[in-house]
Amino acid sequence: MTLLDPGFPVTTASSSLQPLPAADRITVMDVLRGAALLGILLMNIEALAGPLDLSFTGIDPRWHGIDYAADALVYVLVQGKFFLLFSLLFGAGFAVMAQRALDSGRAFAPLYLRRSLALLLIGTCHAVLVWSGDILVMYAVLSFPLLACRRLPVSALPVAGGLAYAFAVGLSLLFALVVWAAGRADPTALDSAGAMRAAQDIIQAQRLAYGQGSWAEASLQRLSDLRHMFGGILVTGPEIFGMFLIGAWFARRGVLADPARFEALYARLRWVALPVGLLLMLASAAWHPYLAPGQFTPATGLSYALAAVASLLMCLGYLAWIVRARSALGWLAAPGRMALTHYLLQSLLCTWIFYGYGLGFFEQLPRAWQVPFALAVFGAQVWLSHAWLARFRFGPVEWLWRASTYLRLPSMRRAVAGG
């Protein structure tokens, strides 16, 4: 979910990595991670406060009034966009780490494989023991084929990334075409009602396990959810992998390290990609606002494909605006430096508040109140980040991840004279 320590720029002008000034590091990388962390929480809060499989389904008609409006705003403006931004940043961090290893003469593959295995372990523990909506496992799994792409030419990265992302979109369109053709050939061939009943059974199991069950019962349900999640890797996997490669291009080309050199690109992302993406997203939401669990029709397939294209464009537009406002958004840098710790902390805190083995507020928080709740949690994380980093060099999970990668314990405390 987080970056691979992107503290140095990579440009085509030089094959070496130069230390990045503190201010530039904050604005270019850490602020982006902090903003993505907030977006991830705004997206995930519905799935933390209620059944996982009732979330990420578009604008849910069970909400009404201000709750429906809040659900629509999150769906159109947030859902899927910051998840893609995290994926892009992961790919950027991969490229930086590869270049640093090359310049230092260190063998990159063993280092990177240890880092990926450590992330896989952290993600698996998170998915099974805390919250089944985890994305770290998927990132870790897809990081292994990413290793084979480290020698791709810079110019090939956005093309390969775009093709991988387009494959996921095309697959949705192909599924829609197959469903349409099967329905025309034999209207009884597809048991959509049966699939929807099965989806409702899963949702009911989640209600019982997370809303009323013990921690052990919830963990068994999380294990089941994790297996179901990997059933969707055929579509979500290429999306994530495509963003990995696009992010690697952003890092290797120097777009993140030296934004001033790429003002024309950033302007196109701000004034073309974002508005076009927003229009496509609004069109998708207006045409087919709700994707019912277990239901797949030609309309849902087309709607998902349209939303996927819109989310990519909006993600890149958001990135460009965040880079533009990096000085004003400097306060996001501290949580960005501890993004992995805070991602896990969000799950720990919210499952304790909402799940039955915690305070038991499962499905009790109205949708409209979920947004200010998420903002309050993130505000507390911003404060905690500044307090922590005033004394320590890394977040606790970042420290553990680094130690697992380099097989040594890095110094944790900040030096008295500024660290």
- The confidence score (pLDDT) of residue 418 equals 45
Residue 23: CB atoms within 10 Å:
12
Q: What is the per-residue pLDDT for 416? A: 53
Interval 155-189: pLDDT, tens:
999 999 999 999 999 998 998 888 778 766 766 55
- Vertex 1: Cα angle to 127 and 204 (nearest 5): 35
Amino acid at 350: C
Please report the DSSP string for 135-171 in residue order: -HHHHHHHHHHHHTTTTS-TTHHHHHHHHHHHHHHHH
What percent of the chain is predicted at pLDDT more than 70? 90
Cα angle 235, 236, 238 (rounded to 5 degrees) comes to 75
Task: Classify residue 328: in a domain, yes or no.
Answer: yes
Residue 157 burial (10 A CB sphere; 0-12, 13-18, 19+):
buried
What is the Cα–Cα distance from 8 to 102, expressed in whole angstroms? 13
Which residues have a Cβ under 8 Å from the Cβ of 250 and sit 6 or more positions away? 88, 91, 92, 256
Q: What value does the mean pLDDT take over residues 131-156?
A: 94
Give which of 70, 10, 8 is closest to 368, Cα–Cα: 70
Long-range contacts of 120-125 (CB under 8 A, 24+ apart): 122/340, 122/344, 122/397, 122/400, 122/401
Neighbours of 18 (CB within 10 A): 12
Q: How confident is the model at residue 191 (pLDDT cuts 50, 70, 90)?
A: low
Q: What are all long-range contacts of 383-387, with beta carbons under 8 Å and residues at least 24 apart?
A: 385/334, 385/335, 385/337, 385/338, 385/342, 386/334
Whether the per-residue pLDDT at 2 is higher than 50: the answer is no
Is the model's pLDDT at 3 over the cut of 50? no
Give the CA distances from residue 321 to residues 266, 317, 353, in Å, rounded to whole numbers and listed in that order.
Answer: 8, 6, 34
Residue 1 lies in a domain: no
**Domain enclosing residue 253, as ranges:** 22-406
Please report the DSSP string for 273-328 in residue order. Answer: IHHHHHHHHHHHHHH--B--TT---HHHHHHHHHHHHHHHHHHHHHHHHHHHTTTT
Highest mean pLDDT: which range of 1-5, 196-200, 280-284, 296-300: 280-284
pLDDT at 97: 86
Question: When comparing pLDDT for 27 and 281, which is higher?
Answer: 281
Residue 338 lies in a domain: yes
What's the token pair of residue 356?
A: 């039955």
Q: What percent of the chain has pLDDT over 90?
A: 74
Beta carbons of 404 and 115 less than 8 angstroms apart: yes
Query: Do 310 and 281 form a contact (C-beta atoms < 8 A)?
Result: yes
Is residue 5 situated within a structural domain? no
Q: What is the mean pLDDT of the segment spanning 350-376?
A: 98
Reply yes or no on whether the pLDDT at 252 is more than 70. Answer: yes
pLDDT of residue 187: 63
pLDDT at residue 315 in the model: 98
In 3D, which of 311, 158, 308 has the Cα closest to residue 246? 158
Tell whether 417 is covered by a domain. Answer: no
- pLDDT class of 198 with cuts at 50, 70, 90: confident
Whether residue 11 lies inside any domain: the answer is: no
- Confidence class for position 320, pLDDT limits 50, 70, 90: very high
Q: What is the pLDDT of residue 182?
A: 72
Is the per-residue pLDDT at 5 higher than 70? no
Instruction: Please indicate whether residue 83 or residue 6 has the higher confidence score (pLDDT).
Output: 83
Give the mean model confidence (pLDDT) for residues 216-233. Answer: 90
Nearest to 44 by CA among 86, 13, 6, 11: 86
Predicted confidence at residue 194, as pLDDT, reads: 73
Measuring CA to CA, which residue among 40, 74, 20, 33 is closest to residue 331? Answer: 33
Residue 175 lies in a domain: yes
Enter the pTM of the model. Answer: 0.91
Give the pLDDT confidence score for residue 21 in this predicted structure.
Answer: 41
Question: What is the pLDDT, as a whole number, of residue 298?
Answer: 84
Return d(Cα 19, Cα 95) in angstroms, integer: 15
Tell me whether residue 418 is in a domain: no
Could you tell me the pLDDT band of residue 210, with boundaries at 50, 70 and 90?
Answer: very high
Cα–Cα distance, 140 to 118 (Å, whole number): 9
pLDDT score of 188: 59
The mean pLDDT of 401-419, rounded to a whole number, is 81
Single-letter residue type at 176: A
Report the pLDDT averaged over residues 382-389. Answer: 97
Average pLDDT rounded to a whole number, residues 128-137: 96
**How many structural domains is the chain composed of?**
1
